[in-house]
Amino acid sequence: MKIAIPVDEKSLQSNVCVSFGRTPYFLIYDTDTKKSVFVDNGAAVSTGGAGIKAAQMIVDSKASILLTPRLGENAAEVIKAAEIKIYKTTTAAAQDNIEAFIAGKLPLLNEFHAGFHGQRGN
Amino acid sequence: MRIAVLSGKGGTGKTLISVNLAAVAKTSIYIDCDVEEPNGHLFFKPGNIQEEEVSVLIPKVDEKLCSGCRKCVDFCKFNALAYIKDKLIIFEEVCHSCGGCIMLCPKKALTEKEKVIGKVQKGTSDNVTVNTGILNTGEASGIHIIKKLLNNNTEIDKQTFIDCPPGSACIVMESIKDADYCVLAAEPTMFGVHNLNMVYELVRLFKKPLGVVLNKCLEEENPAEKFCFEKNIKVLSRIPFDNELGILNSNAEIAVRKSEKYRAMFSSLLATVIKEVHHETASDSQR
Ligand code: SF4
Ligand code: SF4
């Protein structure tokens, strides 16, 4: 089973990034091999729809679990279409969140925020 | 003659100024391009309203033809497409109708379909033809609605007042593109100066002649006025901060139709603007 987490740094001790679409990296942790891979988030610099593109990357990484503090509606639609389960992280480091998830201590994330593309002004 | 009225954020008097200018002119056209929150019509309360829907073309997919090559997904700059579990997902609200994916699909699996994103309304309020653009909530861009509004109102002999969206995004650029003159509304605070500077830079980029109306003026020092002085920007008018205007405004009344004092004030602002426009066209032809 592969677990995906948005992280601020390329390290298991990294914080979980507060923004799913704009995170610099995703940590993909494989619970079978115990290996971690860090992938650059190409969506971080895109002008719009970052959440959708980032979600596509998670799907392509073959993760079946996503741990994230929050998620936009569009990204959630992609993630759910791929039948990936979404859990809400705590403020602890990425590794602690993985352990908490394995121990069954993270709740499912089921509130998704509206996209920001409709924002006014610039 | 097209006059665009702009400000860096909402609530600086942009609508107050454009509505009253239009109302004080003999016969005029008012165009509300603030399509996410049009409120000029609340003041004009126009009658004889005619409505027209505005739609854009977005892609739809024929799943039988789609091979899953993902060329469209990689291409879309707005990330409106995703390919999940052997299925293309199209996020209609995110799509900007560029048509690129449709052109590029090697299997011709994508075709155009129409989607309504909002509407334009036209009505009359005494001497003013009132045009309002309305963007449905959640839609990505009001550009098409603004284009429609401006194309519907091209009589150059009529005085036309364009109430622009706040800010300096591309939707504002669309609104001022064909304007002959830009009126910038500014509040007398440091934050007001920041907003003013933002639209000032934008208007300069388009090389449009411009002037500033200082709104909510008090006796004390006005940072926006200082900014205009430093940048050598023409101050067209100073609207004082007073209760009477505030009350008229919050009751959605048009000040120049209710009070002689404001009729005189906006008449003189309009005269100043017209003089500036003529001055600009005169110096244009000399160049
Ligand atoms: S480009 Fe055409 S064939 Fe390729 S994934 Fe997109 S719709 Fe399908
Ligand atoms: S029309 Fe343009 S913006 Fe819309 S999905 Fe296709 S490529 Fe993306």
A22-53 confidence digits (pLDDT tens):
999 999 999 999 999 999 998 888 777 899 99
Could you give all domains of chain B from N- to C-terminal order, each with its CATH number?
2-54+118-286 (3.40.50.300), 63-108 (3.30.70.20)
B231-234 long-range contacts, CB within 8 A, separation 24+? B231/B200, B233/B200, B234/B210, B234/B276
CATH number at residue A42: 3.30.420.130
Residue A108 lies in a domain: no
Residue A122 is predicted with a pLDDT of 30
Residue B45 is predicted with a pLDDT of 95
Residue A49 lies in a domain: yes
Structural domain that includes position A65: 2-102
Residue A86 lies in a domain: yes
Rounded to the nearest 10°, the torsion over CA B224, B229, B235, B239 is 40
Best mutation site among B6, B71, B85, B91 for testing chain A: the one with the most A CBs within 10 Å? B91
Nearest Cα to B26, choosing from B135, B128, B132?
B128
CB-ligand 1 contact for B183 (6 Å cutoff): no
Per-residue pLDDT of chain B (287 residues; tens, 9 = 90+): 999 999 988 778 899 999 999 999 989 999 999 999 999 999 999 999 999 999 999 999 999 999 999 999 999 999 999 999 999 999 998 898 899 999 999 999 999 999 999 999 999 999 999 999 999 988 878 889 999 999 888 887 889 999 999 887 888 988 998 899 999 999 888 888 899 999 999 999 999 999 999 888 888 888 898 889 998 888 898 888 888 888 998 899 999 999 999 999 999 999 999 999 888 777 655 54
> Could you give the CA distance from residue B76 to residue B190 in angstroms, rounded to a whole number?
40
Inter-chain contact B89–A59, Cβ cutoff 8 Å? Answer: no
Identify the band that residue A76 occupies on the pLDDT scale cut at 50, 70 and 90.
Answer: very high
Q: Which two tokens stand for residue B162?
A: 């364009």
Quote the ipTM score.
Answer: 0.82
Residue pair B181/B6 in contact by the 8 Å Cβ criterion? no
Report the domain count for chain A. Answer: 1
Residue B69 CA, ligand 1 centroid: distance in Å: 5
Residue B116 CA, ligand 1 centroid: distance in Å: 24
Residue A120 is predicted with a pLDDT of 33
> Could you give the CA distance from residue B196 to residue B6 in angstroms, rounded to a whole number?
9
> Could you give the CA distance from residue B197 to residue B70 in angstroms, rounded to a whole number?
43
Residue A116 lies in a domain: no
Q: Does A116 score more than 60 pLDDT? A: no
Residue A121 lies in a domain: no
Residue A88 lies in a domain: yes
Which whole number is the average pLDDT over A48-66? 93
Separation of first and last alpha carbons in chain A: 41
Residues of B in contact with A119 (CB under 8 A): none
